């Protein structure tokens, strides 16, 4: 077996892409998207039909039509992805709402409503929210309504603790972005899988959850190389880009390392964190504070780029309609 096949025997593999062809090729269990991936997908010719459908739907709604078109496009692509994967698809709440609990809840409910309108049950969708205090609070409400959530942009232990206590379905701790920060901060470029700060972070969270029987799924994300993936083999789920999926598929050597079958005891005591303590601990972690803020900014940037693209196409469509009428 190649390494991808070996990995699938130990962890559920999730495709970190909105590219339908990549999902069809690698046959992952689940798929996850975000504004960056949707922006790339929206520029591909095979998504023209989805874009046309999103624009037509948004044109019949009141409100910010570009934002609504982006929401509908995410659901349309998510619905197609669900025809190819047996599990779930993650769809993101607008990152501009990362510090607004009520607006995040409303946005998530609307996403689920759009999925249900195309015949997709809410059980097959994970709503992605940034792991801010407000995002986690929104997830706690949504989970009680049967809307399952994926808490993304997770870089610190305190974020993981609060997510577990909130009863969220899944967390996505970011491996590669943690490594990026430590490389820049230390000037080192020789980290191995054994001392990779991102790998060590996910390993610590995984052991903490499993030793305390939290049902929240740990899904390692944002990998920079296949060594990081191998080091976390055995984690509940791993979401992997098409490029790294291909590298794993082309490698037939034995899959080395991983978390193993034994769950190590995590020394840190289990306790709920209130808002003040959460914010204090997050602020004390420079890496987590900086990468969370950066991640939100980048998702907002790509959300706005996607909306600008859709707005441009919407304007072009209106001009064609006027020309036709005249």
Give me the catalytic one of 3, 8, 72, 128: 128
Label each residue of the chain as H, E or C.
Answer: CCHHHHHHCCCEEEEECCCHHHHHHHCCCEEECCHHHHHHHHCCHHHHHHHHHHHHHHHCCCCCHHHHHHHHHHHHHHHHHCCCCCCCEEEECCHHHCCCHHHHHHHHHHHHHHHHHCCCCHHHEEEEEECCHHHHHHHHHHHHCCCCEEEEEECCHHHHHHHHHHCCCEEEEECHHHHHHHHHHHCCCCCCCCCCHHHHHHHHHHHHHHHCCCCCEEEEECCCCHHHHHHCCCCCEEEECHHHHHHHHCCCCCCCCCCCCCCCCCCCCCCCCCHHHHHHHHHHCHHHHHHHHHHHHHHHHHHHHHHHHHHHHHHHHHHHHHHHHC
Is 128 catalytic? The answer is: yes
* Catalytically active residues, by annotation: 128
């Amino acid at each position: 077996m190649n390494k991808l096949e070996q990995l699938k025997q130990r962890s559920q593999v999730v495709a970190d892409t909105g590219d339908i062809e990549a999902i069809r090729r690698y046959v992952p269990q689940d798929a996850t998207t975000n504004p960056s991936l949707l922006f790339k997908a929206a520029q591909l010719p095979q998504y023209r039909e989805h874009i046309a459908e999103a624009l037509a739907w948004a044109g019949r709604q009141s409100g910010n039509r570009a934002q609504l078109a982006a929401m509908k496009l995410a659901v349309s692509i998510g619905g197609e992805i669900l025809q190819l994967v047996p599990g779930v698809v993650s769809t993101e709440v607008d990152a501009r709402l990362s510090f607004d609990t009520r607006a995040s809840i409303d946005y998530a409910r609307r996403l689920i409503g759009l999925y249900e309108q195309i015949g997709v049950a809410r059980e097959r969708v994970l709503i992605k929210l940034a792991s801010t205090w407000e995002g986690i609070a929104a997830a706690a409400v949504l989970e009680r309504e049967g809307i399952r959530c994926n808490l993304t942009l997770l870089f610190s232990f305190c974020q993981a603790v609060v997510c577990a206590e909130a009863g969220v379905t899944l967390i996505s701790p970011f491996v590669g972005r943690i490594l990026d920060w430590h490389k820049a901060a230390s000037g080192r470029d020789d980290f191995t899988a054994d001392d990779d700060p991102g790998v060590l972070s996910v390993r610590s969270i995984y052991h903490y959850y499993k030793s305390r029987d939290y049902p929240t799924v740990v899904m390692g994300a944002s990998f920079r190389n296949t060594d990081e993936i191998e080091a976390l083999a055995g984690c509940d789920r791993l979401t992997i880009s098409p490029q790294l999926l291909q590298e794993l598929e082309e490698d037939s050597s034995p899959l080395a390392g991983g978390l193993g079958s034994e769950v190590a005891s995590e020394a840190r005591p289990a306790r709920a964190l209130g808002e003040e303590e959460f914010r204090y601990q997050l602020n004390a972690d420079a890496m987590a504070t900086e990468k969370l803020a950066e991640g939100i900014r980048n998702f907002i940037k790509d959300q706005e780029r996607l909306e600008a693209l859709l707005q441009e196409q919407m304007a072009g469509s209106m001009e064609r309609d006027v020309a036709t009428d005249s």
